[in-house]
Structures are given as structure tokens and as C-alpha cells.
Amino acid sequence: MAAAQSPVSRYVPWVLPWDDAAASSLSVPAWLERPWLKDGKIVRLTVGPDGHLSADGRRARLFGVNLCFGACFPEKVDSEKIASRMAKFGINCVRFHHMDNRRFPDGILDPAFPDSRHLSPEALDRLDYLIFCLTQHGIYANINLLVSRKFTSRDGLPASIDGLDWKDSHIPGFFLPEHLSLQKEYARELLTHRNPYTGLTFAEDPAVAIVEINNENGLLCAWYSGGLDRVPEELKRPLADRWNRWLMQRYRDTAGLEKAWKTLSASAGEELLKNGNFADGQQSWTFERHSGAEASFSASGGIATVQVTKPGTASWHVQMTQRGIAVQAGAPYTLSFVARADREQTITVLLSQARAPWRNLGFSETVAVGPTPKRFTFVFAPSESEVESRLVFSGMGTQQASYSFSSVSLASGGRIGLGEQERVEDRSVALFSRGARGRTQEAVSDWMEFLAEVEDTYWAQMYRFLKEDLGVKGLVVGTAAAFSTVSAMAKLDAVDTHSYWQHPSFPGRPWDPVVWNVGNKTMVNENGGTLPGIFFRRAAGKPHLCTEYNHPAPNTFSAEAFLLLAAYAALQDTDGIFAFTYSHRTSAWDQRKIPNFFDIDQHPGKMATFPAAAALFLRADVSPAREELRISLARREELDARYGKGRGQISALTKGVPPEICLVHRVALEIDGKPAQTGEIPAVSSREIVSDTGQLRWTKDEKGRGMVTCFSPRSRMVVGYCGGKTVDLGGIRCSVGSTMQDGWVVIALTCLEGAFDRGRLLITCLGSCENTEMGWKNPERTTVGKDWGKPPSLVEAVAVGMTVPSAGARVWALDEKGQRKGELTVSRAGTGSSFTLSPEWNTVWYEVELP
């Protein structure tokens, strides 16, 4: 059958009612077995002997969403509607997130008090009622404790904490006893109060499946990212005392510590830079502009000036360098310079190879600069010898600003290891700053080991408090594994992860509602995209979760998000996946358009694919991979990887596993160096990646355009570039017409009853999504600023000719509630039937009966 050419695809209005719970052809509870319900009541989740979630002895999975801020506290009249709609779309768990940031009605804090220690009775009542309503529909709760609460002196903490932003105000909680007491107080108030609608506390309620201790936080991560440096010394005194006691116990005296850290001290040597004082203007310096960035470079009077007039899209798109510098591994070097900017900015200075692969040589610092000139001095030891290195001043590529540099010097000599004035006997060994300036690798190794022990103690204390003192019956998780070590998280009940495809970026002010970008790209062109970041952090023998995932709006390819996640999460035998987020809104549920980056409740493409995604994952229509790669990962390797490569590398990628492996086999980490159960890691093709079950294929055409297909007994799917082609989905032929995005389309076929040769099917078919009159600011469609458009939301209804293996097929177009609204014309095609999905039906859903 030739590809369907008429009618062509086009945008149609498509609004999914916010309060729809009416029974229809696509209502997930009507066709999905739910093992977590017994006699109409929700069953407590446990961890089975196989390391997976279990409900009453049967395997259970969580297909969830987040609620944030005021959305956790809707009006009671709305709670039943929200719960009913969630159940209809297959949702079986809600993660209650960002409750602790604001005062009621936008948060759980009591507006009658100036501190963050009092919970609003009305907020609790609304939360209680919502959880009760969710429970009635078989939907679990995942309650987060510390997310975005701002700790202040009003909470009884030292006044110096008031100068920190909310995220940095969490860092002292890992080592400051008063801070930890506040976290425990909040947990006690929330988890032990009795819900009048269920008669149970959250601690004992089987519907509270998970309690999360601390969102996206870790002490090692805080140090590596520079957050620990921003914490006032007053708050860090307990940590400094603990650090010196730790060193004293290990090395006994300063002499032993100096020897262990291989302290080196060398007098100042030759100057390695030429024209560091810019007396000869720009001589010996190279100025670089990339990817359309426009900037000028000038030097006079001993000052070099960089004027950025048109930013690029990455910080390195404007940089100043000097090449030809020879350095020796392990030898001390001292870099100093004076820098300023006409406004508050950050710059990055680093030493790297001056040739491919441009490897960093163990020194990279990001510093804050402003209108007042500031001198910076760093002592470091290169990680390897290099005869042709380069000094780089970078980080200037994303803002219109003026920068100046003077008195730049790089000379051999300096002291690294233990400082001259530091003595362990009098507890004067300083805490390490970000980058461990002036420290040897041996010193850094000790520092990271110490921080890891402090962090581990925090997780263990909170876990015991929740389980033993409060009696929490549900699973307790720590934080997303990228923000801690997998080994630390594996000591708790489950390992969690977060991942986003094309997360919003903010070249200026963080979370600026006007100046931002979201890459308008499809993940099918990248082999696995963000999926390895999820699956490569799975710990063997522990439930694995991904509690935050999205392809943020206004990405017009975002209908792919949860189909791809669900399919490959099922392949990896994952225990739970959660969309971030269902809503941030306390009210105004009837938006009828895409409201922001993350809310999916009114996103037509994302919500429309939920029934099909629920089948792929909850029903396990995609079978777990037959083979599992067990990768041995020692704790020391985790710490070294964190320092050397950054927190994003703490996974199987650290051990050199190709990211595409997660599209073929299951992957799990054997923690603490347990022997791996697999031999050599297999190679994977970059053009056609087939799961070892044969059910999933990720392919690319000669232009590098991707397509993912699924062939399973109860689900078939194609996501990607197939316009103008005929795709055979196991006896069902789909001939796709032209589309608005170069042939890109999403087609999912889900068995509601029976099988693909005799039964009842749901077809989900669509392409691009956006709002009416969306205010695109550039041809690339990466931003709309504040102009998100108006209702109704629009979807691309795609023209697809289909042939199914049943001569008597009947097909109906479904409306936004999943109700039949019209029957399609069906033609006999040999022993099968053919019909055309047409934009004229103004829908993305169709129902097929195969007698």
C-alpha cells in the first residue's frame, strides 16, 4: 500500500478535559490488571526476594507523576476529580514535591508564623483529603521531606544562614546537629499526624509507598559544585572540627599527615607566560569566538579587555588563551591574575592540552567577578605532563558584558599538600575549597573519603529515625543517585534517579521567565539520549526508580517522551517511572493549553500517550531484557570519578560501558567492588540497535534520522522519522504521509482486549504539539519567552493509511474523553482491512475492533 498522501497532516485543537473520569474505550483501569489492589484496597509495597517491588507477593511497578507546590493542596471539590482522572490514564503513584517551600495555599507552611517549623492545618487537611481520594482509586503516595525549604535564623539557626539561598541552606544539614533536628521535626510533624479521612498516619498508611529524605542533595555534590564554599564558616565549624579529629585519628600528628599527603614545597621559579602584563598589547594571546558569538579583544595600559556584544549559546564560545606552556605532572605551579566585569558574572580559568583531545590537565576553576577588580591565586599540580598546554580564560560566551584582566602570571613553584600554617594537633587543617586548591591527590583522596563518611552517616541517621522512631512502613529513599553515590543510596530501600531531555537552560539569571532556551530536538536521533543516565545507576538487587522525567515544553517532539521512557524502562525491568510534573498549580486546573515547561496535565501530546505508555510499562508489554550486565563498581572508584569527571559520570559510564548498551541488555552495578557476573562488554551498532528480546529497535537512516519501533504481543509502536514510508509492525502496516516535522510521528497500537489478529485496539497517533498563537522567538523554536500562547492546545493529526489482519475490522475515531464520535470507512484488503487515519477527524485516538 502506498504511503498516505491525502489528506495531509495538520494542526487540530486537542484539549483533554482536566476533570474527565468518564468510562471510555481508553480507560486504563478497565483493561489493566492492578496487582497492588486486593479486595478493592491498596496493598503495601515491599521489596521482594528478587530485589523488585512486590504487592502481596506479586510484582508491582509504579507509573507516577509529581505534584508540586500548591498542586499538592487542591480544593477538596477538585481532589476527587484529579484522582479519578489520574486513574483513568493509568497513573498509580503521586510524588508530593516542593511542598515545603511556600506558605499555604502554595505550600504546607503556616502563614501565621514567620519560621518554617509550623505546618498549616488547612494545608494538611487538603493534603489528607487528596491522599484519601487517590487511595480510593488505587494510587500510592511518595512523600518528599526536604525539597526547597528555606532555613533561616527564625528557625533557631545562626543568623549567618540567612544569607544563603534555599538550596545552599540545606548543606549544613549534613553536619550541623541543630539543622538535622529541624529536618527530623518536620518529618515527625508530617508523617505521624493522623489523616482523619483514612484513620492512619502517613507513617503507617500502606498507600504511602515511599518517603524521600532529601531531594537532589549530597555533601560530596555540594563540595564539588561550590555550594560548600558558600556556607559561612560559623556554620561549618562542626564539620571542620570533625575533619581534624578524623585526620588526627588516622595520622596521629602533623608530620604523619604531611608525609601521607606528599606535601611539596618549591620556591618560585620561572614565569611560564609571555606578556602576562599585556605591556605588548595582545601579543602571545589568542582570542576565540565560536557559533555566532560576537566579541572584541583589546589590550592597553597593562589591561586586556573582552567586550561581548552578541552571546553565543555556550559559555566557551568566547575565550582568551595562551598556548605553548610546558608543565610537569605533580609539580607545583602558582597562577595569579586580577579580573573584573562590568556586572556580576562568573568566568572559568583552566589548563588543558592545546591539541586534540583537549584534555583538562587537572586545573579548572570558576570564579565570581564584578565591578570591583579582584585578585585570584591558585596553587595546583597538573594531572599529567604536557609540552604544549594552554591557559584558558573562558565562560564569557553567554552574556553581553565587558571583562578585564591584568597581572596574569603562571610560574613554577608554590606549596601543595598541607599548608605551612596547618597543624592537625591544634585542629587548624582547613576544609577544602572547591577544586581542592593547593592540595595533592593524596590529600583530595582523604577529603573525599571524609565527606563520604559524613554523608553516609547523615543518610543512616535519617533512615533509622524514619524507620525506628517514626515507624515508617513504606520504602525510604535518600536522593537522586547523581547527587550522591550509588553505593550510599543502595544502603537504603531503593535507588532513585532523575533525567530530562533538553532541560531548560538560562544563559542569564536562573529560572528567568523571559530569557531561556529549550532545545527543540527529538531524542530518536541520539542513541538512547538521556536514558543511560537513568539505567546506568541501577544497583543490583535493589528496586530502581526514576522519579523525575520529562521532555520539557515547548519542545514540539515531546509526544515521544513517555513512550520511549516506558518502553526502555520495561526492558531494564525498572520498578517505577514518574513524569515531572502533573501540575504546579493550586487551582486553575482548566488551562486548556500547555502552561509551562513541565506541567503535563494539560499537555495534549504527553497525556494522550499515557494509556499506551502504561501498557508498555505497567502491563510489561515490553519484556525485560534476557541478559543482564553486572558491572563491578568500587566505592573508591565512585569517589575518584566524582572528583575527576563530575557527578554526572557516577554510573556504569564510569566503567566504560557504551551508553547504547542499555538499549540492548539490562545493566546493574555491583556495589563495593563485588565481582561482576559478566565478561567482556559487547559492542553495539550505531545504526541499528536491537534489544536482546528482539522487541525494540532503535535505527537511523542515511541522514542520521532516528526511528524506534516496538514489536510485542500486546503493544506495537513507531516513534520517529517514517513520513513517506510504510512501516510493518508485525502484520499491521502503517503508511505514513508527510508531516510537519520532516516525517516525524508517534504511532502506538495497544491491545485493550485479545490480540492483534482478534481483539480490540487503541491507536494513538500524532506529531507536533504547541499552543494556539505560540510566540516563537526564533526559527529554531527554542524559546517563546513569556508568550506561551492561548487556548486551545494544538496537536498535529497525522494522515496514516493502515492495514490490519482482519477482514471485518471496524474503526472509530475517539473524542477527547475517549468516547466514540464517528466510524471510519473500512475497505477489504485481501484477508485484512484497510482504513485511513485522517486529520479530518480532529483526534489522536482511534478504537479498532478485530473480529
**CA geometry: angle at 262 spanning 258 and 268, to 5°?**
95
Question: Which architecture characterizes domain 18-233+451-617 according to CATH?
Answer: Alpha-Beta Barrel (3.20)
Q: Of the given ranges (151-160, 189-198, 633-642), which has the lowest mean pLDDT?
A: 633-642
Of residues 382 and 624, more confidently modeled: 624
Does the pLDDT at position 630 exceed 60?
A: yes
Question: Quick one: pLDDT at residue 436?
Answer: 82
What does the mean pLDDT of the chain come to? 94
Question: Quick one: pLDDT at residue 20?
Answer: 95
* CB 717, CB 563: distance < 8 Å: yes
Question: Residue 577: helix, strand or coil by DSSP?
Answer: strand
Q: Of the given ranges (90-104, 426-440, 553-567, 633-647), which has the lowest mean pLDDT?
A: 633-647
Summarize pLDDT for 736-766 with one digit per residue, the tens.
999 999 999 999 999 999 999 899 999 999 9
Per-residue pLDDT averaged across 553-582, rounded? 98
* CB 404, CB 339: distance < 8 Å: yes
Omega of the bond prior to 581 within 30 degrees of 0, cis? yes
| pLDDT band, residue 7 (cuts 50/70/90) | low
Residue range 286-416 in CATH 3.20.20.70: no
Q: Which DSSP letter does residue 109 get?
A: B
Q: In percent, how much of the chain has pLDDT > 70?
A: 97
Integer Cα distance of 487 and 456 in angstroms: 10
SS (HEC) of 116-133:
CCCECHHHHHHHHHHHHH
| pLDDT band, residue 673 (cuts 50/70/90) | low
> Which sign, positive or negative, has the C-alpha torsion 480, 481, 485, 486?
positive
Q: Which residues of 174-197 are buried (b: 16+ CB within 10 A; e: fewer)?
A: bbbebbbebbbebbeebbebebeb
Instruction: For residue 55, give the C-alpha cell.
Output: 504487592
Question: Residue 136: helix, strand or coil by DSSP?
Answer: helix
**Phi/psi at 162 (5° precision):** -65, -25
Q: Of the given ranges (200-204, 342-346, 821-825), which has the lowest mean pLDDT?
A: 342-346
Integer Cα distance of 689 and 700 in angstroms: 9
Does the pLDDT at position 6 exceed 60?
A: no
**CA geometry: angle at 195 spanning 191 and 201, to 5°?**
40
Question: Cα separations (Å) of 692 from 588, 617, 661, 664?
Answer: 46, 17, 10, 5
Summarize pLDDT for 203-212 with one digit per residue, the tens.
999 999 999 9
Summarize pLDDT for 389-430 with one digit per residue, the tens.
999 999 999 889 999 999 999 999 999 999 999 999 999 999
Helices (H), 465-586: 486-489, 531-535, 561-571
Question: Quick one: pLDDT at residue 2?
Answer: 38
Question: Quick one: pLDDT at residue 651?
Answer: 83
Does the pLDDT at position 5 exceed 60?
A: no
Summarize pLDDT for 180-233 with one digit per residue, the tens.
999 999 999 999 999 999 999 999 999 999 999 999 999 999 998 889 999 999
Question: Residue 250: helix, strand or coil by DSSP?
Answer: helix
Per-residue pLDDT averaged across 314-321, rounded? 93
Nearest to 431 by CA among 227, 648, 256: 227
Does the pLDDT at position 679 exceed 70?
A: no
Question: Quick one: pLDDT at residue 437?
Answer: 79
Integer Cα distance of 271 and 259 in angstroms: 29
How many other C-beta atoms lie within 10 A of the C-beta of residue 590? 11
Does the pLDDT at position 768 exceed 70?
A: yes
Q: In percent, how much of the chain has pLDDT > 90?
A: 86
| pLDDT band, residue 682 (cuts 50/70/90) | confident
| Domain layout of the chain by residue ranges | 18-233+451-617, 286-416, 628-689, 694-850
Omega of the bond prior to 554 within 30 degrees of 0, cis? yes
Does the pLDDT at position 27 exceed 50?
A: yes
SS (HEC) of 342-355:
CCCEEEEEEEEECC
Question: Quick one: pLDDT at residue 1?
Answer: 40
SS (HEC) of 188-243:
HHHHCCEECCCCEECCCCCCEEEEEEECCCCHHHHHHHCHHHHCCHHHHHHHHHHH
Integer Cα distance of 815 and 736 in angstroms: 22
| pLDDT band, residue 677 (cuts 50/70/90) | low
Question: Residue 513: helix, strand or coil by DSSP?
Answer: coil
Of residues 532 and 830, more confidently modeled: 532
Does the pLDDT at position 498 exceed 70?
A: yes
Summarize pLDDT for 578-603 with one digit per residue, the tens.
999 999 999 999 999 999 999 999 99
Per-residue pLDDT averaged across 646-662, rounded? 78
| pLDDT band, residue 312 (cuts 50/70/90) | confident
Residue with cell 501498557: 615
Per-residue pLDDT averaged across 272-278, rounded? 96
Question: Quick one: pLDDT at residue 634?
Answer: 85
Per-residue pLDDT averaged across 653-680, rounded? 83
Nearest to 113 by CA among 56, 152, 68: 152
What amino acid is encoded at 751 in this protein? Answer: C
Torsion of CA 589, 590, 596, 599, to 10 degrees: 50
Residue with cell 588543558: 352
> Which sign, positive or negative, has the C-alpha torsion 453, 456, 462, 467?
negative
Question: Quick one: pLDDT at residue 429?
Answer: 97
